[in-house]
Amino acid sequence: MAVSYPVKLEKDDNGTILVTFHDYPGTTFGEDREEALLRAVDALETVFIGHMAKRQDIPEPSKVGKGEFIVLPPISEAKVELYKQLRRKAVRKAELAKRLGWHLPQVDRLLDLRHDSRMDQLEKAFAALGKRIVISVEDAA
């Protein structure tokens, strides 16, 4: 099951839709609901990129029963989970590169949410940590 991040959508005074995050400071907006939610995904990825650059934990989303939610693209979600696993296991990027027989820039790209990585590369990285990726399909909302 994909991880859902709660957001709040409100009409702004200029006719746009304002998005605020339940768990993170900051806002974004869109001309309509669809655009606002797309921008919210990009904004959340930007927040996570900042956490990763500063070597900070990425907290799990709050459990909010009702309202709007956004879900990261599957590759981004896998990259965020890889980052979390590295932190939990206290494995540095250089150590992961060594385990994989890769150069450090390859690991950097694998953790870069703006870089198109291949699923097989992520599978290898998780395997090097004693983990595997499990994919599920759900009904669309």
Backbone angles phi, psi at 67, to 5 degrees: 115, -165
| pLDDT value, residue 95 | 98
Q: Is the pLDDT of residue 85 over 70?
A: yes
Q: Give per-residue pLDDT as tens, 16-42.
A: 999 999 888 889 999 999 999 999 999
Whether 102 shows a pLDDT value over 80: the answer reads yes
Each residue's pLDDT tens digit, 33-77? 999 999 999 999 999 999 999 999 998 898 877 778 999 999 999
